C-alpha cells in the first residue's frame, strides 16, 4: 500500500507498506488510530510454500476501558488469512511481560483482548525494556573493568543480568520461528511502540528460518528492512539522553551467540558484526544517523538545497555531512575476504531441502557466553597475551600473524609510569607517546621517528618507537639511531613484567 507515501498514516513507517490485498487504504488509516504511534500490523516476512507470515506492529490503544476497534480486528483477520486459508491460526507475541502490558493500560494502551480476535492466541515474552538493558550494559562494563579476581568473575557477570536478557530475546525469536515453521501459524509481534524489542525478535526469527539472512547481503537487507525502514530510533538510542539504550548492539550480540552455536551456518564472521557495532556509533556512515525514513528524506532534501542553491558558507557547513552519505554496506561488502567465514558453504545452505528446515539454538544462560571479542577486547590479560605472543615470534624471527599485522592494541596510559625503552619516569614535562606500530608507551626522545605503516593503512608518516623503526626501516625524520645503539639501551620495566 502507498497510503503512507507522505508519512501521514505513520511517520515512523516506510512509505511503502506490505499489507493484505483485502485491507483497503481507508481500513489501514482507521486501524492506525487504534495502534500506538499509528504503527499498524504490516508484513515483514512471508513463506510462499506454507502461506505463513511474520508481521509486526505496536501495542493497541485499549486502556482501562478495554476499548476495541472493529477496523483493527478486521485488518488482523486479513493478516491471518493472507496465505489463503480461512482457518489458519495467528499467534500474537507481546514482547513485554503481562504485568508490563497491563501497566500500559493506565496510559491508555495495553495489549489485545484476545476474545475479540478469532483464531488468535496471545503470548508474553518478558523481554526487558530499554532502561533495564541500558543499566545492564552499564553493570557489564563496570564488571569488565573492575573485576580482577577470576573467582568472582561469573558472580559479577550474573549480577549484570546481561546474559539473561540475551536468553529472553533468543527464546522469543525461537518461539516465533517454531510457530511459523513447525506449527504452520502466522505470527504477529509487538512490544510497546514496535521499534525496539519487536525489531530484535522478528529479525532473529527470520535468521533462524531463512538462510538468505545469514549471508552478508541478506543480513544487510534485514537491517535495512526491519531496523532502518521500520523506524528503529538509532539517533536516540545511540545518544546519551534518557532515550539511549544498546538495543541494536544487543541484537548483534544475539547474532554472535548464534554464530557460536552454529559456526558453519553464517557467511560472515565475528569481525563483520564487530565492525557494524563499532560504526553504528562513529557517525561515519549514513546508515545509523536518523530515527526514521521520514527524517532521512528530510535530511537529504536539506542537504541538496544547501549544495545547489546555498551560499559558500552553507555548502561548507554541509560538506562534512555529505561526506557521510555512503551506507556502511559499501565498506563491508567491498571487503568480503576480510569478513568471510571459511566454514560456510553457500551451496549446501541454499539447498532447497535446507530451505524447508530451521536450526534450533539453545537459549539458555548455561550455554550462552560473554562476547569476549567485544567486551574484553581491551582486557589486560588478553592484551598481555597478544603482546607476549608477538614478542615471542619476533625473538625467533618468525613472521607476525595476520591479526597482529592488522590490529594494534594500544597500551592504556595508566598501565605504565616509565618509558618502555629508556626507563625514565613520565612527568608533566616528559609526556607519554604511543608508538603507532606496536602500541606501547614511550617518551618523546624514544619515539621521535616517523614512518608510514601501509600494513595498518597508515600511508603518511606517523610516530613510531626506535625498535619498530629499526625493524621496519624506511624512516622519515631526524635522529635515527642504529640498531646496535638501540639494543644497548635499557629494555627493563616492560609493562607486562
Catalytic residue flag (residue 191): yes
In which residue are the cell numbers 530510533 written? Answer: 233
**C-alpha cell at position 484:** 646496535
Give the sign of the dihedral formed by CA 315, CA 319, CA 323, CA 325: negative
**C-alpha cell at position 210:** 531463512
Inter-residue contact 12 to 37 (CB < 8 Å): yes
Q: Judge residue 323's burial from the number of C-beta atoms within 10 Å of its C-beta, 0-12 exposed, 13-18 middle, 19 or more buried.
A: exposed
Residues 6+ apart with CB under 8 A from 411: 383, 434, 439, 440, 441, 495
In which residue are the cell numbers 544487510 written? Answer: 220
Chain center to CA of 375: 13
Could you say which of 52, 95, 120, 191 is catalytic?
A: 191
**C-alpha cell at position 437:** 606500530
Alpha helices in 333-379 (DSSP H): 336-339, 346-349, 352-355, 372-375
Chain center to CA of 440: 30
- Taken as a whole, the chain contains a residue count of 497
Inter-residue contact 169 to 258 (CB < 8 Å): no
Residues 6+ apart with CB under 8 A from 350: 211, 212
**C-alpha cell at position 117:** 480476535
- For residues 490 and 476, give the distance between their C-alpha atoms in angstroms, rounded to a whole number: 24
Give the sign of the dihedral formed by CA 7, CA 11, CA 15, CA 21: negative
Query: Taking each helix axis from N to C terminus, what angle separates 247-261 and 270-279, rounded to the nearest 10 degrees?
Result: 180
Residues 6+ apart with CB under 8 A from 165: 127, 128, 132, 133, 136, 250
Residue from 206, 127, 129, 200 nearest 168 by CA: 127
- For residues 491 and 497, give the distance between their C-alpha atoms in angstroms, rounded to a whole number: 11
Report the number of secondary-structure helices (H) and strands (E) in the chain. Answer: 22, 9
Angle at 470 between CA 465 and CA 472, to 5 degrees: 95
Would you please indicate which residues are annotated as catalytic (active-site) residues?
A: 191
Amino acid at each position: 500500500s502507498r497510503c503512507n507515501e507522505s508519512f501521514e498514516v505513520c511517520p515512523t513507517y516506510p512509505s511503502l507498506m506490505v499489507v493484505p490485498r483485502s485491507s483497503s487504504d481507508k481500513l489501514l488509516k482507521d486501524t492506525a488510530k487504534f495502534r500506538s504511534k499509528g504503527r499498524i500490523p504490516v508484513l515483514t516476512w512471508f513463506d510462499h510454500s506454507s502461506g505463513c507470515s511474520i508481521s509486526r506492529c505496536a501495542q493497541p490503544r485499549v486502556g482501562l476501558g478495554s476499548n476495541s476497534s472493529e477496523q483493527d480486528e478486521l485488518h488482523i483477520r486479513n493478516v491471518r488469512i493472507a496465505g489463503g486459508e480461512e482457518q489458519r491460526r495467528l499467534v500474537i507475541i507481546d514482547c513485554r511481560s503481562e504485568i508490563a502490558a497491563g501497566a500500559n493500560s493506565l496510559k491508555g494502551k495495553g495489549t489485545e483482548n484476545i476474545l475479540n480476535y478469532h483464531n488468535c492466541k496471545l503470548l508474553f515474552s518478558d523481554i526487558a525494556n530499554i532502561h533495564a538493558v541500558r543499566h545492564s550494559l552499564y553493570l557489564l562494563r563496570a564488571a569488565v573493568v573492575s573485576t580482577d579476581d577470576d573467582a568472582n568473575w561469573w558472580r559479577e557477570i550474573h549480577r549484570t543480568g546481561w546474559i539473561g536478557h540475551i536468553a529472553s530475546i533468543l527464546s522469543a525469536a525461537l518461539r516465533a520461528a517454531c510457530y511459523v515453521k513447525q506449527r504452520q501459524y502466522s505470527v504477529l509481534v509487538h512490544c510497546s511502540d514496535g521499534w525496539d524489542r519487536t525489531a530484535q525478535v522478528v529479525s532473529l526469527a527470520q535468521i533462524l528460518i531463512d538462510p538468505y539472512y545469514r549471508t552478508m547481503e541478506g543480513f544487510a537487507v534485514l537491517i535495512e528492512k526491519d531496523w532502518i525502514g521500520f523506524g528503529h530510533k538509532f539517533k536516540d538510542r545511540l545518544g546519551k539522553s534518557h532515550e539511549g539504550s544498546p538495543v541494536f548492539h544487543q541484537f548483534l550480540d544475539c547474532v554472535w551467540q548464534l554464530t557460536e552455536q552454529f559456526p558453519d551456518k553464517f557467511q560472515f564472521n565475528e569481525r563483520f558484526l564487530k565492525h557494524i557495532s563499532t560504526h553504528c556509533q562513529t557517525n561515519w556512515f549514513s546508515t545509523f544517523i536518523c530515527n526514521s525514513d521520514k527524517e532521512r528524506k528530510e535530511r537529504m532534501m536539506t542537504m541538496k538545497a544547501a549544495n545547489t542553491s546555498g551560499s559558500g558558507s552553507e555548502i561548507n557547513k554541509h560538506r562534512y555531512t555529505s561526506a557521510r552519505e555512503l551506507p556502511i554496506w559499501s565498506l563491508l561488502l567491498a571487503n568480503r575476504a576480510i569478513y568471510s567465514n571459511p566454514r560456510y558453504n553457500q551451496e549446501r545452505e541454499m539447498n532447497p531441502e535446507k530451505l524447508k528446515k530451521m536450526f534450533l539454538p539453545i537459549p539458555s544462560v548455561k550455554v550462552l557466553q560473554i562476547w569476549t571479542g567485544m567486551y574484553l577486547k581491551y582486557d589486560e590479560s588478553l592484551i598481555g597475551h597478544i603482546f607476549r605472543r608477538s614478542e615471542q615470534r619476533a625473538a625467533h624471527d618468525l613472521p607476525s600473524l595476520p591479526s597482529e599485522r592488522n590490529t594494534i592494541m594500544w597500551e592504556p596510559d595508566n598501565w605504565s609510569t616509565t618509558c618502555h625503552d629508556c626507563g625514565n619516569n613520565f612527568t608533566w614535562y616528559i609526556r607519554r607517546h604511543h608508538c603507532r606500530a606496536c602500541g606501547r608507551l614511550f617518551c618523546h626522545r624514544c619515539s621521535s621517528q616517523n614512518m608510514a605503516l601501509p600494513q595498518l593503512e597508515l600511508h603518511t608518516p606517523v610516530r613510531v618507537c626506535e625498535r619498530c623503526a629499526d625493524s621496519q626501516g624506511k624512516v622519515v625524520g631526524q635522529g635515527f639511531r642504529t640498531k646496535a645503539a638501540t639494543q644497548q639501551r635499557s629494555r627493563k620495566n616492560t609493562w607486562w613484567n
